Amino acid sequence: MRWIRIKYTKWYNILKDGISKNNPIVVAVLGICSALAVTNRVENAIAMGLGVTFVVMASSLMISLIRNFIPAKVRMVTYMVVISTFVILFQMFLEAYFPSIAKALGAYVGLIITNCIVMGRAEAFAAKNPVKYSIIDGFASGMGYMLVLVLVASVREILAFGTFLNMNVTPDSWVNWTVMAMAPGGFFVLGLFIWGIRELIKHYETA
Residue window 143-172: x/- pattern of binding to other proteins, with contact defined by CB under 8 A: ------------------------------
Q: Which is nearer to other proteins, 108 or 193 (CB)?
A: 108
CB of 175 to other proteins, least distance (A): 21
Count of CB atoms within 10 A of residue 70's CB? 16
Strand boundaries in the chain, DSSP class E: 163-164, 167-168
Number of residues in contact with other proteins, rule: CB under 8 A?
Answer: 19
Dihedral sign, CA of 141, 146, 147, 151?
Answer: positive
Question: What is the DSSP-derived secondary structure letter of residue 24?
Answer: T
- By CB under 8 A, name the one of 23, 60, 78, 115 that touches other proteins: 78
Q: With CB under 8 A as the contact rule, which of the stretches 79-87, 127-135, 151-159, 170-178 interacts with other proteins?
A: 79-87
How far is the C-alpha of 140 from the C-alpha of 177, rounded, in Å? 33
Q: Which is nearer to other proteins, 63 or 194 (CB)?
A: 63
Q: With CB under 8 A as the contact rule, which of the stretches 19-27, 92-100, 161-169, 189-197 interacts with other proteins?
A: 92-100
Residues that bind other proteins in the complex, under the rule CB under 8 A: 69-71, 73-74, 77-78, 81-82, 85, 88-89, 92-93, 95-97, 99, 107
